Structure 1
Amino acid sequence: MSLPPKNIEELTERCSRIAGLTLGQLAEQWQLQLPANLQREKGMVGQLLELVLGASSGSKAEPDFPHLGIELKTLPVDSLGKPLESTYVCVAPLTDVSGLRWQDSWVCRKLSKVLFVPVLAERGIPLPERQIGTAFLWSPDAQQQALLQQDWEELMELIVLGGIDRIKGAHGKVLQLRPKAANSRALTAAIGADGEPIQTLPRGFYLKASFTASLLARQFGD
Structure 2
Amino acid sequence: MSDLRTLFDAASALAGQSFAELADAQGMSVPADLRRHKGWVGQLLEAALGASAGSQALQDFPELGVELKTIPLDARGRPLETTFVCTTPLLDVTGLNWEASNVRNKLQCVLWIPIDGRREIALAQRTVGTAFLWQPSAAEEAQLKADWQEHMDKIALGQVEQITAHQGEVLQLRPKAANSRVLTEAVGPGGEIIQTLPRGFYLKTGFTWAIIKRTFDLADSN
TM-score, normalising length from structure 2?
0.96
Alignment map for 1:198-209 (pairs within 5 Å): 198-209=194-205
Residue 106 (structure 2) aligns with = 110
> Matches of 1:7 and 1:174 in 2, distance apart?
30
> Matches of 2:55 and 2:182 in 1, distance apart?
19
- Asked if 1:20 is matched to 2:23, the reply is no
The SS at the match of 2:13 is helix
Residue 162 (structure 1) aligns with = 158
Does the aligned pair in 1 maintain the 2:157–2:189 contact within 8 Å? yes
Shift of 1:17: 1.2
> Matches of 1:108 and 1:96 in 2, distance apart?
18
Flag structure 2 segments of 5+ consecutive residues without an equivalent.
none
The SS at the match of 1:151 is helix
Shift of 1:125: 1.2
Letter of the 1:196 partner, please give it. Answer: E
- Asked if 1:7 is matched to 2:10, the reply is no
CA deviations over 1:12-32 (Å, ceiling 9, x no partner): 111121101111121123332
> Matches of 1:44 and 1:82 in 2, distance apart?
21
Count of equivalent residues: 218
Letter of the 2:36 partner, please give it. Answer: R
> Matches of 2:110 and 2:165 in 1, distance apart?
23
> Matches of 2:138 and 2:176 in 1, distance apart?
29
Residue 135 (structure 2) aligns with = 139
**Residue number among 59, 62, 82 corresponding to 1:63 in the alignment:** 59
> Matches of 1:176 and 1:29 in 2, distance apart?
36
> Matches of 1:145 and 1:87 in 2, distance apart?
16
Letter of the 1:77 partner, please give it. Answer: L
- Asked if 1:90 is matched to 2:73, the reply is no
Identity across matched positions, percent: 52
TM-score, normalising length from structure 1?
0.96
Flag structure 1 segments of 5+ consecutive residues without an equivalent.
none
> Matches of 1:125 and 1:133 in 2, distance apart?
15
Give RMSD over aligned pairs.
Answer: 0.8
CA deviations over 1:138-158 (Å, ceiling 9, x no partner): 110100000000000000001
Letter of the 2:57 partner, please give it. Answer: A
Runs of 4+ in structure 1 deviating by more than 3 angstroms, as ranges, are none
